A and B are shown apart, each in its own frame.
Chain A
Amino acid sequence: MIILFVALPLVVAGVLPLVGKISRRVLPDLLANAALLFLLVYAVAAGRPLIGNGPVLQQLTWLGETVNLRLALDGFSLFMLMAVSLVGLCVGLFSVDYMEHYGAKANYYALLLIMIAGMNGLVLATDLFNIYVFLEVAAVASYSLVAFGLGHDELEAAFKYLMLSVVASAAILISIAVIFGMTGSLSLPAVARALQELNAGPVVGISAALFIMGFGLKAALIPFHAWLPDAHPSAPAPISAVLSGLLIKVSGVYALTRIFLNVFGLTPALSTVLMYLGTVSLVGAAFLALGQKDIKRMLAYSSISQVGYIVLGIGLGTPLGIAGGLFHLFNHALAKGLLFLTSGSLQQATGTRDLREMGGLAKRMPFTAATNLIGSLSIAGVPPLNGFWSKLIIIIALVQAGHPVFAVIAVLASVLTLWYYLLIQRQAFFGKLNERWAAVKEAPFWMTAATVLLAFLCLAVGVLFSLTIKTWIQPAAGVLAEGVQTVIRSWGL
């Protein structure tokens, strides 16, 4: 029942406001987190055996009639589902304490679950227009989540995010219309087959360019990144974690990857474009992150940079490069989610996001300091944490494919990343304790628990990296490396 991934969060979201009337805090917390936990368990436990024999296509019947609820679960989709449920669960746990002073918790959880349902639907869809619909579902939920605090900054950020995002959606839809016009079909396998028959060079180029514009904006690649450094800091911390850790990857990178690798086919021209885009984001955002004093803003620029890394790896197109890119996607989701959550702990304890005002907090908030350190080192790529392995794989893939210059740039950008993350760590946590924070306490239980869980995963995935690669990454990378053939052969009903 793959449809559960979409149906369960939606049903729970629909029920939550009623539940919220009965009990304002305990019951919504319980219900929402139980739903998220179920999704995670389902993805990990039931998903793997399902795809043991190849992709699973589910065509549902409802009330005796065959309805076109076509969902496809292959290595790549399952991998994304697992990442979404994992980070989603930790964010849900974190929100138990963090969203107390925002009010309307049931409403918040409902929107969060709708966003997750949208992301899951996007991942499972087999049809271009379905991808668009679920993209919008997740996006509409995210606009109000960014503005949830109802302060001036949040509203401004949410409005600009909405404006840019709607233009991106329009570009995507126009491209879908053009593809429909060319190939006469919307389902991914049919389009893939048709594009192989047709020889429609320039028009496919226009369509691809529109997709890059649209999905590139959703993924916050430079030059389409302008909305992210405002939206992610202003949102409540757990939402920043979901946005940076999941939404930009699912609605940006996943959709782009699925369409370009499995439907269009990765031509050398496309590969070059993606690699250049990735590198520009990687380096540009790293420099932009350096001057930031707001901790969440720095994390936001870092997200743009790391997404550049992921696109660089996937754009390379070799099996090793794709595997590295996907592994980094997973690691970044874990680590960046973790870092935004700890920044939320910091913000709640001190009331500020300005690094210059913090100092020496490690003494008062040991757990937060430790988990923040692990998250920072993971993204910076320090062994034996998970980020090190994924970056290493991408760099090796670049060298192997004959792009030494890109590899050198990637290494240098990593050093830069390490630098500014250690800056945060030093300014916020180490050093002399600022007297203002003498009475600060460690973060409440659920917030700490969520961050500890994510930090533990960063360590575990790093130490057990070969196991992770074998069980999760290889199947996913395999699906993508096969390219257009995967979708035509196994999805074509």
Chain B
Amino acid sequence: MIIQTALLVGLVLFSALAILLKDLLKAAISLAVASLLLGIVFFRLGAPYAGVFEISVVAGLITVLFILTIALTNTGEEVRESRLVNIVFPLFFVVFIVIDALVMKGLVQKIPALPAAAESGTFGDVLWKGRTLDLVGQIAVILAGVFSVLALFRKRDKHD
């Protein structure tokens, strides 16, 4: 439990860092570290496949995409964030955490719940046989993403 708490605290901290850091590249790396920690949290919750996906896809692929974008948009000047926000954000965040904790403590045992269906089969069974329509959706969304990128980067012969 201690390790889990430490991991989760680290996750929140690195995510906040990713938002606050001025250098975009460091922010992207911070986000990747946060994803790594989340992946480990998933592992410890008994979800190895989700953990692997989180680490390889989010900490890996998405970070690469971010770094690519940062590199491609790096020749301009810095976007100066409002200094007020940089002071207010941590304060607001701390207040939010406190309210969050109080709300959670108050909610304990207040939400009724029915037991879920017992787990059956392996992860493969659940994914391929249990949630097949999701797989169709995944194919569709991947196609959509691919075509979107192709459409957005196409060569324009006539500008209108």
Residues of A at the B interface (CB closer than 8 Å) are: 6-7, 10, 13-14, 17, 62, 65-71, 101-104, 107-108, 110-111, 114-115, 117-118, 121, 125, 127, 129-130, 133-134, 136-137, 140-141, 143-144, 147-151, 180-185, 194, 197-200, 203
Q: In the bound complex, what is the Cα–Cα distance between A275 and B115 (angstroms)? A: 35
Q: Is the CB of B130 within 8 A of A68?
A: yes
CB of B86 closer than 8 Å to a CB of A: no
From B110, B114, B138, contact of A198 by CB (8 A): B114
* Given A103-B154, A111-B148, 13 additional A-B pairs, CB 8 A: A6-B140, A10-B143, A13-B143, A68-B130, A103-B156, A111-B147, A133-B134, A141-B144, A150-B156, A181-B111, A181-B113, A182-B113, A185-B117
Tell me whether A108 and B151 are in contact (CB under 8 A).
yes
* Least distance between A124 CB and chain B CB atoms (Å): 9
Given A114-B140, A121-B137, A137-B140, also A107-B129 (CB < 8 A): no
**Residues in B neighbouring A101, C-beta threshold 8 A:** 158, 160
Interface residues as binary, B139-160 with A (CB distance below 8 Å gives 1, 0 otherwise): 1110111011111101011101
> Are A134 and B131 within 8 A (Cβ)?
no
How many angstroms from the CA of A137 to the CA of B113 in the assembled complex? 31
Q: Is B112 an interface residue (CB 8 A)?
A: yes
Residue B95 at the A interface, CB < 8 A?
no
Q: What are 17 A-B pairs with beta-carbon distances under 8 A?
A: A10-B139, A65-B129, A69-B133, A102-B160, A107-B150, A118-B144, A121-B137, A136-B141, A140-B145, A141-B144, A144-B144, A144-B147, A182-B112, A182-B114, A184-B114, A184-B115, A203-B110
Please name all residues of chain B whose beta carbon is closer than 8 Å to the beta carbon of A185 when the two chains form the complex.
Answer: 114, 116-117
Closest Cβ of chain A: how far from B35's Cβ, in Å?
17
Does B4 sit at the interface, judged by CB under 8 A?
no
Interface assignment of B93: CB less than 8 Å from any CB of chain A: no
A133 near B151: Cβ-Cβ < 8 Å: no
- CB neighbours (8 Å) of B136 from chain A are 6-7, 10, 69, 121
- Contact check, A110 vs B111: say whether CB atoms are below 8 A apart: no
Return the contact of A149 from the options B134, B145, B160 (Cβ within 8 A): B160
Those 6 A-B pairs whose CB atoms lie nearest each other, nearest first: A184-B116, A144-B148, A133-B137, A67-B132, A140-B144, A141-B144
| Cβ–Cβ contact B151 & A111, under 8 A | yes
How many whole Å from B145's CB to the nearest CB in chain A? Answer: 6
Whole-angstrom distance from the CB of A16 to the nearest CB of chain B? 9
Asked whether, in the complex, the Cβ of A107 is within 8 Å of the Cβ of B132, the reply is: no
In the bound complex, do residue B156 and residue A68 qualify as a contact, i.e. CB atoms below 8 Å apart? no
A125 and B133 contacting across the interface, CB-CB below 8 Å: yes
A70 touching B143 by the CB < 8 A rule?
A: no
B96 within 8 A of partner (CB): no
- B residues with CB within 8 A of A: 110-117, 128-134, 136-141, 143-145, 147-152, 154, 156-158, 160
A468 nearest CB across to chain B (Å): 31
A321 to chain B, nearest CB (A): 32
- In the complex, A140→B132 CA distance in Å? 20
Taken together as a complex, chains A and B put the C-alpha atoms of A108 and B151 apart, in Å, by 8
Residues of B within 8 A of A110 (CB): 143, 147
At the interface, is chain A mostly helix, strand, loop or mixed? Answer: helix
Decide yes or no: A117 and B140 within 8 Å by CB, A111-B147, A129-B134, A141-B148 being known contacts.
Answer: yes
Contact A127 B133 (CB under 8 A): yes
Give the docked Cα–Cα distance between A102 and B128 (Å). Answer: 40
- Distance of A188 from chain B, by nearest CB (Å): 13
A residues less than 8 Å from B143 (CB atoms): 10, 13-14, 110, 114
Interface contact B114-A107, CB-CB below 8 Å: no
- B111 and A200 within 8 A (CB): yes
Q: Which residues of B contact A118 (CB under 8 A)?
A: 140, 144
Q: Tell me if A183 and B133 are in contact (CB < 8 A).
A: no
Report the minimal beta-carbon distance from A234 to chain B, rounded to whole angstroms.
Answer: 13
B103 to chain A, nearest CB (A): 11
Q: Which of A17, A103, A114 contacts B158 (CB 8 A)?
A: A103
Residues of B within 8 A of A127 (CB): 133
Which one of B129, B137, B151, B160 lies within 8 Å of A137 (CB-CB)? B137
CA A300 to CA B43, docked complex, whole Å: 47
Looking at the assembled complex, report how far the CB atom of A197 sits from the nearest CB atom of chain B, in whole angstroms.
Answer: 7
Smallest beta-carbon distance A109→chain B, Å: 10
In the complex, which residues of chain A have a beta carbon less than 8 angstroms from the beta carbon of B130?
68
CB neighbours (8 Å) of B114 from chain A are: 182-185, 194, 197-198
Question: Please, how many angstroms separate the alpha-carbon atoms of A71 and B133 in the complex?
Answer: 9
**Min distance, Cβ B113 to any Cβ of chain A, angstroms:** 6
From B140, which residue of chain A is reached at the shortest CB distance? A137
Residues on the A chain within 8 Å of B117, using CB: 184-185
Instruction: Find chain B residues with CB under 8 A from A121 CB.
Output: 133, 136-137, 140
Given contacts A133-B137, A134-B137, A137-B141, contact A182 B111 (CB under 8 A): yes
Closest CB of chain B to A67's CB: distance in Å? 4
CB distance from A35 to the nearest CB of B (A): 14
| Known A-B contacts A141-B144, A144-B151; A200 and B131 likewise in contact (beta carbons under 8 Å) | no
Nearest B residue to A148 via CB reads B151
Q: How far is the CA of A111 from the CA of B150 in the complex (A)?
A: 11
B149 CB contacts on chain A under 8 angstroms: 144
Do B144 and A66 touch across chains, with their CB atoms under 8 A apart?
no
A330 CB to closest chain B CB, in angstroms?
Answer: 25
Least Cβ distance of A119 to chain B in Å?
Answer: 11
Q: Please, how many angstroms separate the alpha-carbon atoms of A85 and B110 in the complex?
A: 46
| Measured CA separation A35–B7 after assembly (Å) | 50
Give the docked Cα–Cα distance between A133 and B114 (Å): 25
**Is the pair B147, A114 in contact by a Cβ cutoff of 8 Å?**
yes
Given known contacts A114-B140, A118-B140, A198-B112, A68 and B148 CB-to-CB distance under 8 angstroms: no
In the complex, A182 Cα to B112 Cα: how many Å?
Answer: 6
Bound complex: CA A127 to CA B134 (Å): 10
B134–A130 touching, CB < 8 Å? yes
Q: Contact between A107 and B147 (Cβ–Cβ < 8 Å)?
A: yes
Residue of chain A at shortest CB distance from B141: A137
Cβ-defined contact, B152 with A147, below 8 A = yes
CA distance A198 to B112 in the complex (A): 7
